[in-house]
Structure 1
Amino acid sequence: MARVAVLHNTLDFNGGADAVCLHVCEALQAAHDVTLFTISETSLSALNELFGTDAAVTVETLPGTGPLARLLARVDDWRGPQLAFRSVLLDRWFRRRAAAFDLAVSTANEFALPVPSVQYVHFPQFNGHVAGPDGVHGGGVADRVWTRMAGLDDRRLPADATLLANSTYTADHVVARYGRGASVVHPPVDPIPGEPWADRERGVVTVGRIAPDNRTLDAIRAVDGVRERGYDLHLHLVGSAAEAYRSYVDRVEAAVAAREHVTLERSVPRTRLEALLGSHRYGLNPKRGEHFGMALAEYVAAGMVPFAHDSGGQRDVVDGAEDRLFGTVTEATERLVAAIEADARPRLPPDRFAVDRFHERIRTAVDDRLAGR
């Protein structure tokens, strides 16, 4: 049994990266002594209920995490998520404890860690000024500062780090920034029981935190467009609403209140989420440049017809099907209308991203790294 540290900068956004963290803990806890290091207020029990996981590991939080997390949440509302900053704090803190561990597993992207590691990259968090294969780049002065403080301004990751990526899109960006390949391990999503197609409601479900980057309002506009074409389609928005996005949440709530065909449910139990997915025909993900798309993968798992913005790792999830991808809100409307008119059915198997497969690949990566392979 090895001593394994799992590093995750924050669990307060309740997104797909946080689900991966919980699943990694669950995958490793039976065979290893696992400690989760995070700068997060959210409890493990709350996340287990949200993600349907059973993680039961030791949790270490940075002293003063509560006030710090609340301060960062207020900053996030007008400056966006400060994830790189959080990661730098986490890295500095963990280094003082690293000697007590045989291996570190990052579920919050890349680090220059002082111990052997397995690093799961949702999207590179440092060296944002380096353009990826699609020309995407970002960052400015802050990015260069955090990159330097993270010890990665030379664009070299530790030689004893095993790199994993959530999609081919992300893996290509890892190569562009660091010149190192990453094995693609799609995030875990088990099949979700559903009703027969004929019994399903002609409705759309959009799952994900209510946030500007998730473009929740675009989902409303797309369904509005379908209804303007004469089809009685309704929309369920399901997702948590972090305090960091309060101003955007207010806009979404106002849009929902003005429409009888749109409902919003926040922080629903897993049973309710699965009931919605299993009883509706269509799933819509309007986020652009999604690095993978956990909600989109859940639409597949529930036997829905999934639609997503034609960018990022979402192409992996729908297996590159052009009639399931769109570039604009108008195109999203057109894809939905075409599916309704053709009575389009699901094409992908519900077990495409099975949890057991993910857990096994994580355990193998950790065991191989511990063995020096």
Structure 2
Amino acid sequence: MARIAVLHNTLDFRGGADAVCVHTCAALAESHDVTLFTVSQSNPAAVAAQFDVDLDVQVAAPPGATAIATGFSILAPAMGPQLAARSVLLSAFFRRHADAFDLAVSTANELSLPLPSVQYVHFPQFNLERTDAGDSGRLDGLWSHLAAPTGPELERNVCLLANSSWTADVVADIYGHRPAVCHPPVDPIEGKPWEEREPGIVVLGRIAPDKRTLDAIHVVDGLQEAGYDVSCTIVGSAPSAYRNYVSRVRTAVSERPYVSLETDVSRQRIRNLLGRNRYGLNAKPDEHFGMAVAEYVAAGMFALAPDEGGQVDVLDGDETHLFSDIDEATALLGAAIDADRRPTRPRNRFGRERFADEIRAHVAAVLTRG
């Protein structure tokens, strides 16, 4: 049994990265002594329950972590992207405790750490001036100086993982090291037979500017204008950091009788919506993986997503599911409805046992090597 620290900058957004974190903790806790280091308002066990994970690990946080996390959320509209700043804070706190551990696992992207580590990259958080795939932000140089891993570190004692082949390519562009791809965990979701499902659209995921929730609404507008009598349910978390955008989405929904909004609902409610509707829509380009898209597939839905990013992995590059803009999305979805196109991809491709086995294997390899 090894002493393992899992580092995750925040659980407050309750998205795909957080699912990876709690699944990683649960997988490793079966054989190791695990402590989760995080800076969050959210209760880790409650977040884990949202993803059907029973989390029983120690939790360590800096003094005043709840107040700090609250402050980050309050300042978010003016501050902009803040995950790198949170990671710098978390890394500094963890370094004071690192001697108590045999290995660290970062599920919050790449970090400079003083011991052997497995690092799961959803999207690089440092040195973003080296790529056109993301916005570096004005403080990227500072955060990178404080907490980014160096080339020698990556060669010596880091096992890099990425959530998709697209993300792995971005990491390779920045650091010269290409991670192994380890897709996030998404279990099959039970649902009604296709013939019994409602011809409705679900937009699942965090309500935020980068997710382009308003664009998804405009796709549904286009279908309505084209004569398709379809409804849409938007369901996902509404983090306070994005409250201005969430307010705009609420206003747009209130003006459309064919669109409804459900925020911060139970996991059972999400499964129910995915299992009784036919179509799943994602609007974010360059999605790092696309947990929502993978869940659409897992639920037996016909999924549509932009033709960029990790979601191309999820949909195997199938052009009948991938679009370049709102107009093409509207046309593709209309064509799918007309032709009664049905999903063809295996629903169990990204299951949690596959993910747990891969994480445990990578950790075992680093422990043996170290």
**Structure 1 length as normaliser, TM-score?**
0.97
How far apart, in 2, do the equivalents of 1:201 and 1:289 lie?
A: 29
Structure-2 residue corresponding to 1:289: 286
Aligned alpha-carbon RMSD (Å): 1.3
Once the two structures are superposed, what CA deviation does each residue of 1:290-330 show, in whole Å capped at 9, x if it has no partner?
Answer: 10011110000000011001111110011111111111111
Cα offset, 1:41, TM superposition? 1.4
AA aligned to 2:215 is: D
Cα offset, 1:139, TM superposition? 1.4
Q: Is 1:239 aligned to 2:228, yes or no?
A: no
Contact 1:5/1:37, CA 8 A, preserved across alignment: yes
Structure-2 residue corresponding to 1:195: 192
Q: Is 1:109 aligned to 2:109, yes or no?
A: yes
Runs of 5+ consecutive residues of structure 2 not aligned to the other structure: none
Where has structure 1 moved over 4 Å in runs of 4 or more?
Answer: 153-156
How far apart, in 2, do the equivalents of 1:123 and 1:158 lie?
A: 19
Tell me the number of residue pairs that the alignment of Structure 1 and Structure 2 aligns.
370
Q: Matches of residues 204-353 of structure 1 in structure 2 within 5 Å?
A: 204-353=201-350
Partner of residue 139 from structure 1, selected from 118, 136, 139: 136
Contact 2:126/2:148, CA 8 A, preserved across alignment: no
How far apart, in 1, do the equivalents of 2:138 and 2:288 lie?
A: 24
Contact 2:110/2:149, CA 8 A, preserved across alignment: no
Structure-2 residue corresponding to 1:172: 169
Cα offset, 1:348, TM superposition? 0.4
Structure-2 residue corresponding to 1:40: 40
How far apart, in 2, do the equivalents of 1:85 and 1:45 lie?
A: 24
How far apart, in 2, do the equivalents of 1:155 and 1:170 lie?
A: 21
Structure-2 residue corresponding to 1:182: 179
How far apart, in 2, do the equivalents of 1:312 and 1:286 lie?
A: 12
Runs of 5+ consecutive residues of structure 1 not aligned to the other structure: none
Q: Go from structure 1 to structure 2 and tell me whether the alpha carbon gap of 1:123 and 1:247 turns closer, same or farther (over 3 Å shift).
A: same
Cα offset, 1:70, TM superposition? 1.1
Once the two structures are superposed, what CA deviation does each residue of 1:251-278 show, in whole Å capped at 9, x if it has no partner?
Answer: 1111111111111111111111101101
Q: Is 1:79 aligned to 2:79, yes or no?
A: yes
Cα offset, 1:206, TM superposition? 0.6
Cα offset, 1:78, TM superposition? 2.6
Q: Go from structure 1 to structure 2 and tell me whether the alpha carbon gap of 1:218 and 1:141 turns closer, same or farther (over 3 Å shift).
A: closer
Contact 1:49/1:269, CA 8 A, preserved across alignment: no
How far apart, in 2, do the equivalents of 1:140 and 1:261 lie?
A: 38
Q: Go from structure 1 to structure 2 and tell me whether the alpha carbon gap of 1:252 and 1:309 turns closer, same or farther (over 3 Å shift).
A: same
Q: Structure 1 vs Structure 2: percent identity of aligned residues?
A: 55
**What SS does the aligned partner of 1:283 have?**
strand
How far apart, in 1, do the equivalents of 2:78 and 2:258 lie?
A: 31
Cα offset, 1:155, TM superposition? 8.4
**What SS does the aligned partner of 2:183 have?**
coil
Structure-2 residue corresponding to 1:70: 70
Q: Go from structure 1 to structure 2 and tell me whether the alpha carbon gap of 1:208 and 1:94 turns closer, same or farther (over 3 Å shift).
A: same
Cα offset, 1:81, TM superposition? 3.0
How far apart, in 2, do the equivalents of 1:268 and 1:221 lie?
A: 24
AA aligned to 1:268 is: V
Partner of residue 368 from structure 1, selected from 316, 341, 365: 365
Once the two structures are superposed, what CA deviation does each residue of 1:123-163 show, in whole Å capped at 9, x if it has no partner?
Answer: 111000002xxx42431440001000115466863521101
Q: Matches of residues 110-129 of structure 1 in structure 2 within 5 Å?
A: 110-129=110-129
Structure-2 residue corresponding to 1:10: 10
Contact 1:23/1:359, CA 8 A, preserved across alignment: yes
Contact 2:37/2:59, CA 8 A, preserved across alignment: yes
How far apart, in 2, do the equivalents of 1:85 and 1:111 lie?
A: 12
AA aligned to 2:244 is: S
AA aligned to 2:275 is: G
AA aligned to 2:158 is: A
